[in-house]
Amino acid sequence: MDDAEIVGLYWARDESALEATRTKYGGFARSLAVNLLGSAEDAEECAQDAYLALWRSIPPERPESLKAYLGRIVRNTAADIWNRAHAKKRDAGLTVLLSELEDCLPSPSDPQAELESRELGRAVSAWLRTLDADSRALFLRRYWYGQELKTLAREWGVSANALAQRTRRLRISLRAALEKEGFII
Amino acid sequence: MSERAIQLYKAIGEADPALLEAAEAYRPKKPRKWMKTVSLAASLALVIGLGAAAVRYARRDVSRPADTGADDIGAGTAQDHLPDSGLGAYDGPVLPLTVSDAANLTAARQVTLDFADFAADWPYAVSVTDRYTLTNAGDTPVTVTAYYPFIGALERPGLPEITVDGESADAVLHTGPYTGSFRETRDANLLDEPQSFAAYRDLLSDGTLFASALAETPELDTPALVYELRGVAYREPDRYAVLEAEFEYGPETSVFTCGFHGDSFSVEENGNGRTFGVWSSDGHSRYIVAVGGDIEDLAVHGYRDATLTEPYGAEVNQILRYESTVGEFLDRLAAEYAQDGPDAGADLYFGAPLSPDLGADDLSRELRRTFALYSRLGSDPSPRYRWEQLERLLRDTVTVRRLMVLEFPVTVPAGGSVTVESRMIKDASTRFSQEAGRAVSRIDIAGALGTVLPFTSATGELMNTDSVTLLDPDRPLDVPDMTLGPTEIGEVFTIGVKN
């Protein structure tokens, strides 16, 4: 079943939409949640919350890529769960990932410097397009999919330390790009 | 973790689905070991990841005697093939060797750019060999102090390797000052780094910046009272809290802090609160430093979160107070950073680790210099540091580009020559060209900028360019015997790479 058909089921309020989503993207949603939360239990809770959010948001939403849309919901749900739990386990996936991202956006002391996620998202996407395919894939695998460095290091055929250095340089580049766009103080 | 990291995390979540699909399907090419050892053959592997690539050769129309000063280099003739997208960063030019006194000396320069590993990592980088044959026309030996300047940063690993007649030189590193300034916007004060060769030419042409790089470390012996907040004790099971340090101080007192989170930093003018969030116990001390006076009524309260509305059973284990000086305290911060780096205190420092080639002394020297210039008590205070958070000063000190100089002695025998060579990895300056729809990179090589050496010749050579296509819209480029020539040593090479 293609995405448009599944989205059509949601619009028809047909609960088989959820079954179709689980069948097609359940593994993806679960592994993404595990990457981000580092715990099977939390990941299961995250996936269930994400399906519920999917059901509630379509309609009115009509995503072209159901997978990307579900992934975004899983990521946001994971952030909520992480916030609630304060990530008691310090080495949980999202905790480490967020601490890495922290240096990309030095904090505004001035509350007026509140940033809008969409605007920031556009700047991030513009920056992503400046990267070569390898660097872009690496960045997104790490910071969108939440894959661990050691997993990526195996795939890239380099040491985790070397990859950490590389992702650090990418973050520095992102930071420079965002600063150029006025997102940084 | 702060709201801003989550905000960026969510912004990344908005990435174009097409980019996600490509990232998911992407299968990286694993490096082959021989690439690291066989540089010439490695050029074959550069095809990977580069696709169609182009190198443009941009000629500056510079005509001047070889031994005149640097002011003429490219002046008023700078072409720019690179559309400015606002993204990316200029990494500065390769700068020439200079000496304390050029009496009786002449120099022949040969620059080699090796593209063998250009696309092996990002940002793209070129291996640069900058070789000088110094000749002494006099009848007595000449001993001079040589200086090899380069644009670097304290976080960047790998210093230029200097050899004199093939022997490793015993070079002293001068880390030098920040090469940029600051730019005020409506909501922020940004670092404003030089973004063109012309900007570096202006910075370096009068020698002031170079002299600053060799200047003594500021003493900073102003007395300071340091309050060190050590460890956190919890009386409740959920080991996360935001702690607020409250205190009073008069207008004669300047207060600096380190370790208090930026996003929960809510002090008003002459206010009295600093806060930090802490997981469990991260083992890092937080500091409040009073200069010009003291603080009063210091009290620390625990809260459940940064709204500071719900009290929570957490408190600082120990508060120490001791007398110091501003300089000594900055030394302490530099030593902690050099030892632990930002990883050990992700909640404290958002910067990059110090280069493994540098030590706490190097960091401390530049931290002192940055404080002496740009802090609230500095000679040229910057609004960027108006909140007096020393970790921001520290982070910038580590990450900003600065003029660095390697100093070493050279003796040239009477009527003879010696060869001085620098080898380094130079990051390409990369921008995204909306017009071209691709990333475009450039490596600039400065000719006589800032040097007192009279050049008799200057030649350039490109190596391992198999994976890039050389274009020259104006004239054919003769590779590898590309001659810059003594009257063209202000040439700029512009390398365009299709993304």
> Among A98, A139, A156, whose Cβ lies nearest the Cβ of B5?
A98
> Among A79, A166, A169, whose Cβ lies nearest the Cβ of B10?
A79
Q: Which of residues 43-72 of B touch A (CB under 8 A)?
A: 49-50
pLDDT of residue B424: 95
Q: List strands edge to edge, sheet with B273-279.
A: B273-279, B240-249, B295-303
Residue A35 lies in a domain: yes
Q: Where are the domains of chain B?
A: 44-208+403-497, 223-397
Short-list B214, B215, B212, B191, CA closest to B203:
B212
Please answer whether residues B333 and B258 qualify as being in contact, where contact means their C-beta atoms are separated by less than 8 angstroms: yes
Number of Cβ pairs < 8 A linking chain A and chain B = 220
pLDDT of residue B394: 86
Tokens representing residue B96 in the block? 């020439």
Please, which pLDDT band fits residue B279 given cuts at 50, 70 and 90?
Answer: low
Calculate mean pLDDT across residues B350-369. Answer: 86
Please, which pLDDT band fits residue A95 given cuts at 50, 70 and 90?
Answer: low
Q: Highest mean pLDDT range out of A139-143, B381-385, B402-406?
A: B402-406
Calculate mean pLDDT across residues A152-175. Answer: 82
Is it the case that residue B69 has pLDDT exceeding 50? no
Bigger pLDDT: A111 vs B54: A111
Bigger pLDDT: B480 vs B329: B329
Among the ranges given (A69-83, B324-338, B415-429), the one the predictor scored with the smallest mean pLDDT: A69-83
Bigger pLDDT: B31 vs B195: B195
Residue A185 lies in a domain: no
- Contacts of B97 by beta carbon, 8 Å cutoff, 6+ apart: B107, B109, B130, B132, B146, B147, B148, B420, B422, B451, B453
- Beta-strand relationship, B98-99 and B142-152: antiparallel
pLDDT of residue B85: 33
Q: Check whether residue A78 and residue A110 sit in a common domain.
A: no
Please, which pLDDT band fits residue B437 given cuts at 50, 70 and 90?
Answer: low
pLDDT of residue A14: 80
Q: Please, what is the average pLDDT of chain B?
A: 74
Residue A17 lies in a domain: yes
A130 with B499: Cβ contact below 8 A? yes
Q: Determine which helix (DSSP H) or strand (DSSP E) holds B223, and give its type and residue range.
A: strand B223-234
Residue A95 lies in a domain: no
> Among A86, A168, A179, whose Cβ lies nearest the Cβ of B238?
A86
Which chain B positions have a beta carbon within 8 Å of A67's beta carbon? Answer: 17
Calculate mean pLDDT across residues B379-383. Answer: 89
Please answer whether residues A36 and A73 qualify as being in contact, where contact means their C-beta atoms are separated by less than 8 angstroms: no
pLDDT of residue B430: 62
Q: Check whether residue A10 and residue A73 sit in a common domain.
A: yes
In this predicted model, what pLDDT tens digit does every residue of B293-341 receive, in sequence order? Answer: 999 888 888 887 656 677 888 888 899 999 999 999 999 999 988 887 7
Among the ranges given (A114-123, B19-28, B490-499), the one the predictor scored with the smallest mean pLDDT: B490-499
Please, which pLDDT band fits residue B365 given cuts at 50, 70 and 90?
Answer: very high
Please answer whether residues B161 and B107 qualify as being in contact, where contact means their C-beta atoms are separated by less than 8 angstroms: no
Residue A97 lies in a domain: no
Which of A25, A86, A127 to mutate against chain B (most B CBs within 10 Å)? A86
Residue A94 lies in a domain: no
pLDDT of residue B481: 36
In this predicted model, what pLDDT tens digit does every residue of B84-138 receive, in sequence order? Answer: 333 356 788 899 999 999 889 999 988 888 888 876 665 678 899 999 999 999 9
Please, which pLDDT band fits residue B282 given cuts at 50, 70 and 90?
Answer: low
B399 with A172: Cβ contact below 8 A? yes
Please, which pLDDT band fits residue B258 given cuts at 50, 70 and 90?
Answer: confident
B23 touches A at CB < 8 Å: yes
CATH number, domain of A71, equals 1.10.1740.10
Is it the case that residue A40 has pLDDT exceeding 80? no
Residue A155 lies in a domain: yes
B280 with A90: Cβ contact below 8 A? yes
Please, which pLDDT band fits residue B373 given cuts at 50, 70 and 90?
Answer: very high
3-state secondary structure (DSSP) of residue A38: coil
pLDDT of residue A178: 80
Cα of A67 to nearest chain B Cα, Å: 8
Tokens representing residue A14 in the block? 């047909």
Tokens representing residue B260 in the block? 């208090």
Q: Which of residues 368-407 of B touch A (CB under 8 A)?
A: 384, 387, 392, 395, 399
Alpha-carbon distances of A11 from A1, A60, A73, rounded to whole Å:
15, 8, 18
What's the complex ipTM?
0.75
Calculate mean pLDDT across residues B43-68. Answer: 26
> How much of chain B exceeds pLDDT 90, in percent?
27
CATH code, B44-208+403-497: 2.60.40
Geometric angle at alpha carbon B251, from B247 and B255, rounded to 5° = 50
Geometric angle at alpha carbon B109, from B479 and B477, rounded to 5° = 20
Please answer whether residues A115 and A59 qualify as being in contact, where contact means their C-beta atoms are separated by less than 8 angstroms: no
Q: Check whether residue A136 and residue A66 sit in a common domain.
A: no
Q: Per the structure, how many domains does chain A have?
A: 2
Q: Check whether residue A80 and residue A120 sit in a common domain.
A: no
Q: The domain containing residue A50 runs over which residues?
A: 3-87
Calculate mean pLDDT across residues B13-38. Answer: 66
Q: Which of residues 309-348 of B touch A (CB under 8 A)?
A: 342, 346-347
Is it the case that residue B140 has pLDDT exceeding 90? yes
pLDDT of residue B124: 74
A106 with B395: Cβ contact below 8 A? yes
CATH number, domain of A133, equals 1.10.10.10
Q: Which of residues 78-107 of B touch A (CB under 8 A)?
A: 85-89
Calculate mean pLDDT across residues B425-450. Answer: 69
Query: What distance in Å separates the CA atoms of residue B393 and residue B390, rounded to the nearest whole number?
Result: 5
3-state secondary structure (DSSP) of residue A44: helix
Please answer whether residues B499 and A132 qualify as being in contact, where contact means their C-beta atoms are separated by less than 8 angstroms: yes
Among the ranges given (A141-145, B125-129, B416-420, B425-429), the one the predictor scored with the smallest mean pLDDT: B425-429
Residue B181 neighbours by CB distance under 10 Å: 14
pLDDT of residue B305: 66
pLDDT of residue B97: 95
pLDDT of residue A133: 84
Calculate mean pLDDT across residues A97-111. Answer: 54
Q: Please, what is the average pLDDT of chain A?
A: 78
Please, which pLDDT band fits residue A55 given cuts at 50, 70 and 90?
Answer: confident
Q: Determine which helix (DSSP H) or strand (DSSP E) holds A14, and give its type and residue range.
A: none
Query: What distance in Å separates the CA atoms of residue B392 and residue B385, rounded to the nearest whole number?
Result: 7
Q: Check whether residue A11 and residue A80 sit in a common domain.
A: yes
pLDDT of residue A24: 87
3-state secondary structure (DSSP) of residue B419: strand
Beta strands in B81-124 (DSSP E): 98-99, 105-114
> Among B6, B15, B28, whose Cβ lies nearest the Cβ of A134?
B28
Is it the case that residue A36 has pLDDT exceeding 60? yes
Please, which pLDDT band fits residue B383 given cuts at 50, 70 and 90?
Answer: confident
Query: What distance in Å separates the CA atoms of residue B396 and residue B258, rounded to the nearest whole number?
Result: 14
Bigger pLDDT: B73 vs A86: A86
Q: Which of residues 119-138 of B touch A (CB under 8 A)?
A: 119, 121-123
